[in-house]
Structure 1
């Protein structure tokens, strides 16, 4: 946990097409296998607005009329859209802190100050490790020639090993709650 957050936050970061979404999916499934619940947040870092799901339904009409936040609930699913000029990750994490989950997984926001798993394709991306803080683990597509460090380095093909590390990481985080 970091920055006074009540629940663990773990970022999944890396360059485009490094496998972040796939890893997020695997980690979410692993939390469920252990009886934990996870929430996910993805940074839409490609410019422009993400697609809105409500289209021209009532909640979309409310948003177009100027509502800051709109929501719709049905069948146990709550979809909330909140629009403002600029969101800080800390504000979003605070909002997610009200959800009944054990972990917030965040895809992206490389420069944020939360614990991170870094995905890299190989040696050509090692500079990314020098730019980031709070690295907990690295997963690489190919073997790396780096010095032993404070965090484990896994190959992408070592799925059982990095998922086992993740379970251990989660147990440590939840014990400090």
Structure 2
């Protein structure tokens, strides 16, 4: 668990088109099969701001009028938009940590020091393994050079194995959380 967070977090990091969103979906689906409540968010790494809902919706009109945060709830769905110059990942995680979920999955924010799975698609991306910290597992589209590593390395095609690793990894952290309140 990251310092200050009450829930386990696992990051999925890699370059654009490395399979981050595909992996996130697989992890979320498995978490649901395990009856774990999971929250996720991703870094909008494409420049600019994420698209807002339709401009004429009341909650969006509140933002345009100057509200720093605006939300709408209905049918059990809560949609909140909060705008400020820059959000630190720790601030976002603090908001997510207040949700009634068991674990948090974070897509992107490569340089953040949370436990992470690193995705490697091309040979030039192997350098991430020496640049990033807190690596818990690697999933690669191609076999990696044989080296001694402190984390498991899977091929992207070895879905059953890395999903099994994820279940074991998260089960351990959730159990630890349960034992330490």
TM-score interval (norm. to shorter): over 0.9
Verify the 8 A CA contact 1:13 1:110 in the aligned structure 2.
yes
Superimposed CA distance per residue, residues 18-58 of structure 1 (whole angstroms, 9 cap, x where no aligned partner): 00000000000000001101111110011101001242111
Quote the residue 1:152 is aligned against: 152
Quote the residue 2:78 is aligned against: 78
Give the length in aligned residue pairs. Answer: 177
The 5 A counterparts of 1:90-169 are 90-169=90-169
1: CA distance, partners of 2:137 / 2:122? 15
> SS of the residue aligned with 1:26?
helix
Structure 1 residues 5 and 144: alpha-carbon distance in aligned structure 2, compared to 1, 3 A threshold? same
Quote the residue 1:13 is aligned against: 13
> SS of the residue aligned with 1:45?
coil
2: CA distance, partners of 1:52 / 1:10? 27
TM-score, normalised with respect to structure 1: 0.98
1:50 aligns with 2:50: yes
Stretches of structure 2 lacking an aligned partner (at least 5 in a row): none
> SS of the residue aligned with 2:81?
strand
Superimposed CA distance per residue, residues 87-114 of structure 1 (whole angstroms, 9 cap, x where no aligned partner): 0000000000010111111000000010
- Structure 1 runs (4+) deviating above 3 angstroms are none
Verify the 8 A CA contact 1:122 1:144 in the aligned structure 2.
no
Verify the 8 A CA contact 1:10 1:106 in the aligned structure 2.
yes
Stretches of structure 1 lacking an aligned partner (at least 5 in a row): none
